[in-house]
Structure 1
Amino acid sequence: MTPPREAAPDWYAARTLTRLLGLAFWRMRAYGTRNVPARGGVLVAATHQSFLDPPLVGSAIPRPSCFMARSDLFRFGPFGAVIRRLHAFPVRQGGADRGAIDGAIALLREGRCLIIFPEGGRTRDGRVAPIQQGFSLVARRAGVPIVPARVWGTFRAWPWFQPLPRPSRVAVAFAPPLDMSLDRAGLVEGLRAAWDDLGRLLGPEPRVRASRLARALQRRASVPDR
């Protein structure tokens, strides 16, 4: 499934709904949105704490965007319906999805804004996970800039072991585009440094009760990230 070339009315409706929910339930704030180019292809590389991240990051960007999402998320009733209307498209877990990668490159070459999560999955403990290098290959092949983004607070609002989200404070911050003259290792290092800088700007993450997290990690220690 490929997102349409132009934002349809249902995209604007889904974005408006997401922004209203973000303000009402999570007091969402967005910072540095001017760092996202207003036109042309751009890859937004964001940290990943929660299922809330894709719609919240997308709603913070002041232009139509699309994003990759795990294929099984499209089966989650209302949630799947919302992310479809926010121009999500599925990617298979458990190995390189060549079709999804080629589709992402094609979208960027068409001048689209694409959100990806280079950690490869949601955090298990609230900390930023190691970065997978594939994001740099996609951006280079498409010839587009990379804008780092950091999500704040969504691990407390909806951690992986909690069945439903709860009200909390969340935020999204965007850094200036990375220097695309860097090699692959340099882009990974630059992305990590930008995430760290944004983390200092946003401040300490809201805490998840340590005992709940410890019990959940113990229960799921042998289960791959969902």
Structure 2
Amino acid sequence: MTLNLYTIGQALCRAYLSTLYKVEVVGKENIPKDKGVLLCCNHIHAMDPPFLGSYIERPIHYMAKAELFETPILKSLIPKLNAFPIRRGMSDKQALRQGLKILKEDKVLGIFPEGTRSQTGELQEGLAGVGFFALKTEAEVVPSAIIGPYKPFKPLKVVYGKPLNFNELRESRASSEEATKYIMEEIAQLIREHEPRN
């Protein structure tokens, strides 16, 4: 496979993360190898996107806040890292169409349903957009969790859960909000199962 900027960046991030933290990766076998995947994760740190993608084989496409594409250096760099812009706080139809296209092409779309980083580290309420993607495509919905904190030489874990069964929700024409709630409950369960015991 020809090396591209994403592959190089992935290798560099993996080396950085493995050097700075005691990284543990759980469940990467749960990510389907040849289907569209909606990868949904909690959001606790700016390094979450590269951490989520550094230890799995399939490249991840991310939504990123539109402001990043307006800075001189990043606007030409981050598209090469499989990111595309979304305008937060409004219905961005172009971003929704791009996300659907990625999933229908059997690629991996990574989403942080909370929409922004949690200031407390606690899981926040998810936005309806993630439920929209889950219901409007046949993609496999994979909940995931990053369990920190991001402190040098301390444990840092990423967990990929088993794909969720969305057949019933799709057949019953569930709302995007209902679908998002289901996904967030599964992310919360992963956090409870894997967070360190005091």
TM-score by length of 1: 0.75
- Worse-superposed segment, 48-57 or 135-144: 135-144
Structure 1 residue aligned with 2:91, among 91, 96, 99? 96
Provide the C-alpha distance between the structure 2 equivalents of 1:12 and 1:192, rounded to a whole number of angstroms. Answer: 30
Residues 13 and 170 (structure 1 numbering): CA distance in 2 closer, same or farther, change over 3 Å?
A: same
For 1:109, the equivalent position in structure 2 comes to 104
Which residue is 2:147 aligned to? 152
Write the mapping of 1:163-174 to structure 2, written as runs, cut at 5 A: 167=152, 168-174=154-160
Q: Residues of 2 paired with 1:55 and 1:178: CA distance?
A: 23
Give the match for residue 132 of structure 2. 137
Listed as ranges, the gaps of 5+ residues in structure 1 are 1-5, 158-165, 207-226
For 1:62 and 1:134, how far apart are their aligned partners in 2?
Answer: 26
Q: Cα distance, 1:17 vs. partner? A: 0.7
2:63 is equivalent to residue 71 of structure 1? no
1:174 maps to amino acid: Y
* 1:52 matched residue in structure 2: 47
Q: Indicate the percent of aligned positions where both proteins have the same amino acid.
A: 28
Q: Return the offset for 1:101.
A: 0.8
Count residues with an aligned counterpart: 190
Residues 182-210 of structure 1 show CA distances to partners (whole Å, capped at 9, x for unaligned) of 2345533432332122112322499xxxx
* Alignment partner, residue 22 of structure 1: 17
Would the aligned equivalents of 1:150 and 1:199 in 2 still touch at CA under 8 Å? yes
Match of 1:176, SS? coil
Aligned to 2:163: 177
Aligned to 2:182: 190
Aligned residue for 2:32, secondary structure, equals coil
- Matches of 1:113 and 1:122 in 2, distance apart? 21
The offset of 1:142, in angstroms, is 2.4
- TM-score w.r.t. the length of structure 2 is 0.84
State the Cα distance separating 1:7 from its structure 2 match: 8.1
* Runs (4+) off by over 6 Å: none
Richer in strand (by share): 2
Q: Please report how far the alpha carbon of residue 76 of structure 1 lies from its aligned counterpart in structure 2 after TM superposition.
A: 8.3
What is the deviation of 1:69? 1.1
Task: For structure 2, list consecutive stretches of 5 or more residues without a partner in the other structure.
Answer: none
Asked if 2 retains the 8 angstrom alpha-carbon contact of 1:178 and 1:187, the reply is no
SS in structure 1 at match of 2:109: strand
What CA distance in whole angstroms lies between the structure 1 residues aligned with 2:24 and 2:40? Answer: 18
In 1: Cα distance, 2:11 partner to 2:28 partner = 17
Secondary structure at 1:121's aligned position in 2? coil
What is the root-mean-square deviation in Å for CA atoms of aligned residues? 2.6
Q: Which has the higher contact order (CA 8 A, sep 6+)?
A: 2
